[in-house]
Structure 1
């Protein structure tokens, strides 16, 4: 029987080009012991030779039978040396390709032998307890810093299974190796290499540490990334990139408040504050921008200015977009002007946002300037920005500019939608070109009926009302009802108003009855228009009926009294005025003046 002796085998470990001289005993039961001793040789290199042809092994002469047994046991012993090298976590030289392929077979042979005394290995390598104790001492400072910051961290490393024996002790070469592993996202190998360097007192450079932190964060190991960060902070090796990585990860995982607390703590640290740049502030701005927290966004902006850092294009894009979303258009415009003052060119997102802010603030001239700058820079304003600018120009009565923007919008390839048509119709109504607005509506309905919406119908009904085209307005109202649109009181009010202009009170009363039949509640504008129509049609009983059927309102009584006085029905107007006083309704100045004027003409009414 051939076996392995219980004496601890020594392992040849290649280091600095030399190899130790291991001795391994082979014995047979009841016989004497035979040994083989390899001579010093150079470091194993990668070649295509077989395992049995490793150079530098000289056998002691033995008999043929024993020699046969010994040759049968030698490959297994060599494979066992590979297994032992993994247990002691030493970095051995490069073995042959066939030996690596047979590693699984060597593991089964190791189980069958059961003669390996692991206690002897502890004489050559540190114990696991000592390694962990040393590791805890190395991380104690980092852990204390993490606890002082209020950031919860894990108690142990999740990948602290083993340390590596490092032949290479050059920090720069090890840093490059660590950087390569991190770029390949081999987090376990990179983490073990980093721990091994830390155990030996070697320091990776800041680039490698940043890459290690980024690799851990990509794999959701924020606690371990924080430990490395605080180790770097204790050594004074943090950079702006390091702070940006950690602050973004903390904001995403634990909220903006935790990230803000860490940011304030780092800002108070003079050594860390030196490494702050615009990107660190942009990271915090981005976190608060996602949360639409404009208060802290403005706070970070002011801190950035106070500390003498100039914003970048990303800075102002975040500021403008955040302020516009939160409805703070003045702050957005201030940030945009500061961006131009610093000589920065705004991006497409910032320009779109600032056009919306200017439109809401009524600054159509600035919005038009931004629109023209986008065209000069080769940017393509979107349809929303074009429609907003059209609406703003239309409300300002700038009809020619509005149609120029409309032509530019079509040249950009944007198809007009309902908002575009409504903006153009509103612009025509603003300058009292109601007939042109009706003609444009007819063209749109003939060519692009799909863009017609309820708001477009409202706008063209205003044109009908201004011109008193009650028949066409009524026809359009029936079409709207036939299309099963959800109608409010607004379109009925416009049609009744058209009847008022055309002096058609009976038609207005019919529309009012139809409106009530459709279960559409009339509002104050409906009743005012109806009362004025009935007064000008001399339908006095209808006026009194409308006033009695609806809750008392000072607006209705004032309109009725003024209309009656203007129509010469002084007695009825005085009765309504007396009723207003009884109901304690508010009498406006015009009504009171007309009452006093008629009293002076006929003192008997006093």
Structure 2
């Protein structure tokens, strides 16, 4: 191109980010600066998203400083991008400070805080943000409840997980049958806490055809509690059939075989059933 404007630079940076090439996106951002082209909010948003994907906290902090130094007041979208970046990078204190200073917090802002604390294992803080979200008059959505159920799963709180799952329809009139991820999260809550039978019942009666993620999540529950009977056979075989290229379930089973722990009656049948897959190892 003979002449490159801000839009053309933005297209390149955004394209690299969307294709999972965050470092290349940041290199283009640097070249843009060297070319004397001033970034706008869209440029900064793409670069911040790259830092979030890479969990590159230092680079994200440098970009945040550049935004502040530019004298331009960031809009709600850019503030949320910064919030997401700090949350992904595990800088929760900075994320919360930024959140507290936001004049226009929306559902996305609250979801970022709830999910960031949930992923970090801070269940109480995550659920506290969920309660504050309601007090602030913001209605939760499916993304909110996926984060909330994730927090319950990390804490092994089946009671809370089931409570929030039910409250979606009773308290918020939300249809639970529109989001497959919600059911996968509840399977995880049950499986992590040893409620394997209940997890089996849920996957058998969910209003979707279970995908490989759902079966793999159930398989993880069997792993956690050493249940390697016929239920685990079915879960493993379903994962293999639905996503034969995914190496994770193969590695999981391989490690279970090698460890020699948690073997139960029926393992011989299990090994026989998995025999066609063992060439992978």
Contact 2:13 2:43 in 1 (8 A): yes
Partner of 2:201: 510
Report matched runs for 1:179-198 at 5 Å: none
TM-superposed deviation, 1:384? 0.9
State how far apart, in whole Å, the 2-side matches of 1:351 and 1:547 are: 46
**Structure 2: runs of 5 or more not aligned:** 18-24
Contact 2:127 2:151 in 1 (8 A): yes
TM-superposed deviation, 1:400? 1.8
Contact 2:230 2:270 in 1 (8 A): no
TM-superposed deviation, 1:386? 1.0
Q: 2:150 is paired with a residue of what secondary structure?
A: helix
> Which residue of 550, 554, 575 corresponds with 2:269?
575
Partner of 1:454: 142
State how far apart, in whole Å, the 2-side matches of 1:512 and 1:433 are: 27
Contact 1:528 1:559 in 2 (8 A): no
TM-superposed deviation, 1:495? 1.0
Please say if 1:435 is aligned against 2:128. no
Contact 2:88 2:116 in 1 (8 A): yes
> Which residue of 474, 478, 498 corresponds with 2:189?
498
| Partner deviation per Cα, 1:223-275 (whole Å, 9 max, x = no partner) | xxxxxxxxxxxxxxxxxxxxxxxxxxxxxxxxxxxxxxxxxxxxxxxxxxxxx
Are residues 537 and 355 of structure 1, via their aligned partners in 2, closer, same or farther at CA, if it must alter by over 3 Å? closer
Partner of 2:20: none
Partner of 1:323: 12
Are residues 484 and 431 of structure 1, via their aligned partners in 2, closer, same or farther at CA, if it must alter by over 3 Å? closer
Are residues 556 and 365 of structure 1, via their aligned partners in 2, closer, same or farther at CA, if it must alter by over 3 Å? closer
Are residues 479 and 338 of structure 1, via their aligned partners in 2, closer, same or farther at CA, if it must alter by over 3 Å? same
Q: What TM-score, normalized by structure 1, do the two folds share?
A: 0.38
State how far apart, in whole Å, the 2-side matches of 1:358 and 1:544 are: 43
Contact 1:324 1:353 in 2 (8 A): yes
TM-superposed deviation, 1:338? 0.7
Contact 1:429 1:463 in 2 (8 A): yes
State how far apart, in whole Å, the 2-side matches of 1:576 and 1:540 are: 7
Are residues 330 and 479 of structure 1, via their aligned partners in 2, closer, same or farther at CA, if it must alter by over 3 Å? same
| Partner deviation per Cα, 1:398-428 (whole Å, 9 max, x = no partner) | 11222232234x2xx3x21122112212322
Please say if 1:300 is aligned against 2:11. no
Q: 1:566 is paired with a residue of what secondary structure?
A: coil
Partner of 1:522: 210
Are residues 324 and 550 of structure 1, via their aligned partners in 2, closer, same or farther at CA, if it must alter by over 3 Å? closer
Structure number, greater radius of gyration: 1
Tell me the matched-pair count: 261
Q: What TM-score, normalized by structure 2, do the two folds share?
A: 0.76
> Which residue of 577, 585, 597 corresponds with 2:277?
585
Contact 1:426 1:459 in 2 (8 A): yes
Structure having the higher helix fraction is 2
State how far apart, in whole Å, the 2-side matches of 1:560 and 1:369 are: 43
* Aligned residues: CA RMSD: 3.4
| Partner deviation per Cα, 1:204-232 (whole Å, 9 max, x = no partner) | xxxxxxxxxxxxxxxxxxxxxxxxxxxxx
**Structure 1: runs of 5 or more not aligned:** 1-298, 302-314, 590-606
TM-superposed deviation, 1:469? 1.2
TM-superposed deviation, 1:521? 1.2
TM-superposed deviation, 1:542? 3.7
Are residues 533 and 426 of structure 1, via their aligned partners in 2, closer, same or farther at CA, if it must alter by over 3 Å? closer
Contact 1:394 1:423 in 2 (8 A): yes
